[in-house]
Amino acid sequence: MSVELVHPGRVNRVDVHHQVAVAQGSRTVHLAGQVSWDTEGHLVGRDDVAAQAEQCYLNIAAALDAVGATPDDLAKVTVYVVDLDEAKAERFVVGRDRAGATLGARFQQPSTWIGVTSLAAPGFLVEVDALAVLP
């Protein structure tokens, strides 16, 4: 595995992700922001943050698979949520964890969450971009 996730002792520990990822490898994979499109470009989970988060992570896994990577290779994610608040953050985690259960993965990479006023197309509530490191 090329990415080690760490909870530093002198940094606040949160349940939804690790604070640090140590990556060692020779290939860096930058993923475009993934939204809740299915393979035909249809919006999945209209008005449902959890369903959209789940689809984003399923799309991330598919993109990683295309280059021989897995969710274990993720080093960092950035999450964008329209009108982010505590309830939407909780629903996001529900969806992310559902994707993890489907994929047999734990999405605990360091992350930054940003509240935005809108995303690229009407109906999108969530977008996730990611960075992976491969050996």
The reported pTM is 0.87
pLDDT of residue 135: 82
pLDDT of residue 24: 79
Distances (CA, A) of 62 to 54, 66, 100: 12, 6, 13
> CB-based contacts of 106: which residues, under 8 Å, 6+ apart?
71, 100
- Angle, in degrees to the nearest 10, between helices 49-66 and 86-103: 40
Average pLDDT of the residues in 60-67: 95
User: What are the pLDDT digits (tens) for 6-39?
Assistant: 666 777 776 776 676 676 778 888 999 999 999 9
Q: Which CATH superfamily groups domain 3-134? A: RutC-like (3.30.1330.40)
- The mean pLDDT value of the chain amounts to 91
Q: Using DSSP, state whether 94 is helix, strand or coil.
A: helix
pLDDT of residue 20: 67
pLDDT of residue 25: 73
pLDDT of residue 127: 98
User: What are the pLDDT digits (tens) for 72-88?
Assistant: 999 999 999 999 999 99
Average pLDDT of the residues in 41-49: 97
Q: Using DSSP, state whether 64 is helix, strand or coil.
A: helix
12 vs 132 pLDDT, higher one: 132
d(CA 80, CA 40): 22
Question: β-pairing, 27-34 with 3-6?
Answer: unpaired
Whether residue 47 is predicted with pLDDT greater than 90 in this model: the reply is yes
